Amino acid sequence: MTLDAQEVLRRLAFIRYLHYQGIEQAKLPQPMCSSAILMWHDAAESLLLLIGEFRGAPSVFEFEKNWDAFTKLPRPINLPVQRGMKRLNQLRKSLKHHGGHPSLESIQTAKQDIHSFLSEATELAFDVWFPPNRGGFGYAA
């Protein structure tokens, strides 16, 4: 399926919604604030899938392998914030598979990492500015 600009923006809007949901969940008391990690991971994973589809990349089912796979495309992309997204993925695995709730400090670090990743990767892949919270998308300057 070829993605047109409208479809890309529609999907980016949903990714932004997941990101915002995570921000709101991070404000909840422990342990409920842990759900922010799941929202942010879903946002990151959704963006990776969108970039892959847009760039014609084969599906990569192991989250952390996307960074290497995207550098081998005909139009390569060097995804940002690899270490931060690795930390986010580890927090998600710990929470989902072992019941390990992250500390408030880990949640705040993940919040910074996901925002950096979404902002930088969106601009690199689509030349579109990813707004911090609310507001529409704009083309990068």
| Distance separating alpha carbons of residues 126 and 87, to the nearest angstrom | 25
The whole-number average pLDDT for the span 112-130 is 93
> Tokens 């931060």 identify what position?
84
- pLDDT value for 1: 56
Short-list 113, 138, 85, CA closest to 23: 113
List, in order of start, the domains of the chain with CATH numbers.
5-139 (1.20.120)
The overall average pLDDT reported for the chain is 90
Give the pLDDT confidence of 43-67 residue by residue, as tens digits.
Answer: 999 999 999 999 888 888 889 999 9
Q: Pick the residue with more confidence: 136 or 99?
A: 99
Q: Which residue has the higher pLDDT, 139 or 26?
A: 26
The C-alpha atoms of residue 64 and residue 66 are separated, in whole angstroms, by: 5
